[in-house]
Structure 1
Amino acid sequence: MYTVGPVFKEMNTDTHLTVRAKYLEQNLGIPAEQYRMTCKQQEEQLAKFRQYDEVVLWFEHDLFDQTMLCYLLSFFAHQDLGNTKLNLLTIGEFPGIERFRGLGQLTTEQLLTLSGTWQLVSSKELQLGDALWKAYASRDLDELRQLLDGDTSALPFAKEAYLAYLSRLSSEPDGIGSVEQEVMKEIAAGEHSPDGLFRKVGNTLHQLGLGDLEFWYVLRTMAERSQPLIMLEGVEDFKTDTTGGASFKNASISLTKAGLSRV
């Protein structure tokens, strides 16, 4: 879930894992110990890759997936692959699906048509993924922009995904980026439910691959600013409900005077 919270060039150290776990627990409600345990299990499994003749990376086009992909490519870029073949399948559309959001939309039969269509990962993918991850993790926006201005064809969806990330960052001191702007736009257009906003904003900004916990966090930060942009009615525990519980999802969201001035 590298689109939220602090990330580091090396994600598997105890110190970095603790920092992330604490952040995600405080802001998204993910239990810190559960997060740490899951990450360690994943890293242990990743370290066993040489036990397999073939490893296939399946990833979608959005930022949520592309950050994970680049992290893995950065990892593999510094490994001796031995006799293990490393392959990549990454797609941004599928025949018959008008609005492709991800592999989870596909049936078993549709997924089977993708089997074997992956390509062997070359040094180009490894080098670009490594460079993108390092720039992203270090938050060196100038380096990231330079990479995106160059040849990113080795990873065909990386450029649009990371451009969406840059647009999400605010160039203004008040911290309003593309997600906050789209939330206010949809509220002004008449959408007042958290679930409705999540669906509509997610469809518009599909390159981000927004998750629900991440989106609830955005709404909370918009409501808890020194000059709130939105206000919620029908919910009492908004400031402590980090997981978008039933009371939160039944709330009605409207724009404050400050929010109206930004639409």
Structure 2
Amino acid sequence: MRYLHILNGDAMLATFQESGIPGEVVICREMLCEGRVTDAPNVLTFFEERSVHVQQVYGIDQQIYQTRVVEEFLKLHNAKDSDEIVLWFEFDLFCQINLLFCLHYLQQLPTNFSKISIVSVGDEPNTQNFKGLGSASAQQLQTLFEQRKEVKDDDIMLATRAWQAYCGNNPFAIEALVTETSPALPFLGTALAAHLQRLPNTFNGLNIIHQFFLHRLALGQARWYDLYQLFWNELRILGFGDFQLDIYSQRMRHAGVMESKDQMLAITSLGKEVLSGEENYLHYADFQQIWLGGIHLHKTPFRYHNDTNEVVTIDQVAQ
């Protein structure tokens, strides 16, 4: 069998190469849960639009993006000689959105692959001392490879619907998919539910990440890396790395709800007022360039209701 493996990021590459698992490797280096994504008519157009966006908003050089991300994905165009594509992705939002894109991408290629399978890893797999693919041993990767599941037509259909919904501007379409599952995508619904909690909430305009930061800092100032470690322990479902948390920290400081000195982060008086509901975060934060997939947060009518765990509109909140 000739395998082609798609790994989500470089963290597990060295151990994967030591594992003896046969096949070529392509690295998915995107972070499609962050920023704007569109359901472009073709993959090249998608990458062109995406490269402009990540440079403008995140300062990622377009040439570096082309070399590190796009050219790596384009290796899949040479995958016609592979008998099986194996996708390696975890349960969290970061991984699941990248997974949706990979499945979408594979369907656009001219090659009809005889088999696509997935190593889909949950929060607590039945593997001793397992802390994710990035820290897995070579033996653990071998075991997971042997347990991979084949991606069937129903899985592809669900992935396609979910990707289109994520690229769209209607969070109700995403919400409708939260309860749907398929054998190869058992963690998708939970990840999509977490995604919706990134919308501003009805109480004070904060989302789940803003709330985490301010709730912890209301207990006292903290070193940024200690705060990040708490985040990773408590909100593993998001799968965010340093880069994304740095972005949130910077935006919250610009909004005036948080401040930093040396390596310490602290909540401001405005942050306390927002946390209590006396003020609304949306009145102070700049959302002009902030997107969640296809949803532009600038003046968005959508909110997340923390009490009912559902998406609502401003009109519904006012009633």
The residue number in structure 2 matching 1:116 is: 146
Cα deviation, 1:211-263, whole Å, max 9, x if unaligned, reads 111100000100101xx1101113xxxxxxxxxxxxxxxx2111111212206
Cα deviation, 1:145-186, whole Å, max 9, x if unaligned, reads 112234455510001111111112213496410001001112
- Contact 1:27–1:217 (CA under 8 A) maintained in structure 2: no
What is the CA–CA distance in structure 1 between the aligned matches of 2:43 and 2:142, rounded to whole Å?
A: 33
Letter in 2 for 1:229: V
What is the CA–CA distance in structure 2 between the aligned matches of 1:89 and 1:81, rounded to whole Å?
A: 22
1:76 aligns with 2:106: yes
1:229 to 257, 264, 283: 257
- Contact 2:33–2:97 (CA under 8 A) maintained in structure 1: yes
Q: Indicate the percent of aligned positions where both proteins have the same amino acid.
A: 25
2:236 to 182, 195, 206: 206
- Contact 1:77–1:127 (CA under 8 A) maintained in structure 2: no
Structure 1 length as normaliser, TM-score?
A: 0.83
Letter in 1 for 2:44: T
Helix, strand or coil at the partner of 2:159: helix
What is the CA–CA distance in structure 1 between the aligned matches of 2:80 and 2:219, rounded to whole Å?
A: 53
Q: Aligned ranges for residues 131-142 of structure 1 at < 5 Å?
A: 131-142=161-172
What is the CA–CA distance in structure 2 between the aligned matches of 1:33 and 1:172, rounded to whole Å?
A: 40
Helix, strand or coil at the partner of 1:88: strand
Q: How many pairs align?
A: 242
Name structure 1 gaps, 5 residues minimum.
235-250
The residue number in structure 2 matching 1:96 is: 128
Cα deviation, 1:110-135, whole Å, max 9, x if unaligned, reads 21222221122100110111110110
What is the CA–CA distance in structure 2 between the aligned matches of 1:78 and 1:147, rounded to whole Å?
A: 23
What is the CA–CA distance in structure 2 between the aligned matches of 1:130 and 1:230, rounded to whole Å?
A: 39
Letter in 2 for 1:61: F
The residue number in structure 1 matching 2:24 is: none
Structure 1 stretches of 4+ moved >6 Å: none
- Contact 1:152–1:159 (CA under 8 A) maintained in structure 2: no
Letter in 2 for 1:33: Q
What is the CA–CA distance in structure 2 between the aligned matches of 1:230 and 1:69, rounded to whole Å?
A: 34
RMSD between superposed Cα atoms in Å: 2.2
Cα deviation, 1:7-39, whole Å, max 9, x if unaligned, reads 11237334x434433443344443222012223
Structure 2 length as normaliser, TM-score?
A: 0.70
Higher helix share: 1
Higher strand share: 2
The residue number in structure 1 matching 2:76 is: 46
CA distance 1:145–1:153, shift in 2 (3 Å)? farther
Deviation larger for 163-172 or 213-222: 163-172
Name structure 2 gaps, 5 residues minimum.
1-30, 277-319
What is the CA–CA distance in structure 2 between the aligned matches of 1:28 and 1:176, rounded to whole Å?
A: 21
Shift of 1:73: 1.6
Helix, strand or coil at the partner of 2:266: strand
Letter in 2 for 1:43: F
Shift of 1:85: 1.7
CA distance 1:191–1:117, shift in 2 (3 Å)? farther
1:62 aligns with 2:92: yes
